Structure 1
Amino acid sequence: MSPWQRRCDLFAHYRDRFIEGLDEQQAEACFHEDVYAATGYFNAYDQELKTVAADFDGTGINISDMIEEWKQEGPFLFLPNHGMKHVYFDIVWALLSSHGLLPAGTPEKQELASRAECIFPKPASWPVYPEIAAQLGVEGSMHWTTAITAGHETLDLHDFVSRSYENLRAFGAIKPEQVPGFDHCSAAVHAQM
């Protein structure tokens, strides 16, 4: 489990609020800078990037320079575990190049990259929350996009929390011990309420 997961899965903090019995309005109120700071979000980004780079180093692929390029382009993930097409392209290119698997006559990387299709048709996407985005120097928002299988809708915070609670009610009981970092996250949220 990565330091990110151990610290707190804040992207799923609405799930934690559901488990604690908070209503939707109380869960919405948890989306603010004080909660992000108390749960360690502001400090997690750089550490998690180092962890991911170290994981790739173990495979023989150095993505540290790629990460710096991706950061300069802005947000590079649709979801915490789904990169944008240029992320996958760069990794695959590095893998093929490092093993001499690019056939003679292969077009230049930039040419191929411009023709690459996203492997996720109309993917779901989660925002970089404005307070976090400000620290990273990127544009933030509070709008989520559902996957194409859910109508590819844009949701504001209220609708996102409401739909999340609806899904959680349909899913059934979730126990705190099933959620990595629950105790830490719960204590941080309650300290801010």
Structure 2
Amino acid sequence: MATPLPLMVYLDLNHWYALGDALAGNPQNPDHVTALKQFQGHVERGEVIFPLSTVHYMELTENPRDVHRERAADAMALLSRFVTMAPGSKIVDEELALELNRRLGRPAFPKKVTKFGIGVGFAFGEAKRMVLNGITEEPRAGDPPGDVSVGVRGLGERDHRVLGPEGATRDSSVRDPGL
């Protein structure tokens, strides 16, 4: 019997903020701590994937409150493991090509789009570098100034870097509170 594929669960940004507060030990609601523990267990067992999207990255970087942004980013790093959804424009291109092929026979070989990948570059449909052995994502030389990314080094240590809306770098350690 084949192993079932994990369930993909998309969380709106307000849920990431609530989970970030719970992870930081300051839950908005005690149920958020329970949910965080359950979500983390499902992720660790490979039962659920909480993908990020371009919307998450853009809205998170627009939040001027460093503490809220960092807490949400900590929860995203912990639960998403930087699995990201393809940009909607690429999916629409695929769907359009498939429908044109079905109706008109053209294009003869409609393109297939990978729907899920890793990192901010994948989310924006851009070639970015993500090193998985160290779980790091750093901008490459020549990337435009102000390039926004969320990177993680050493997932076990939960160490991450968040570039904010002005491009200011914030370093902080994310501590796993034993969840």
TM-score interval, normalised by the smaller of the two chains: 0.3 to 0.5
Higher RCO (C-alpha under 8 Å, 6+ residues apart): 1
Which is helix-richer, 1 or 2? 1
Is the strand fraction higher in 1 or 2?
2
Give the TM-score taking structure 2 as reference length: 0.34
Q: TM-score, normalised by structure 1?
A: 0.32
Structure exhibiting the larger radius of gyration computed from Cα positions: 1
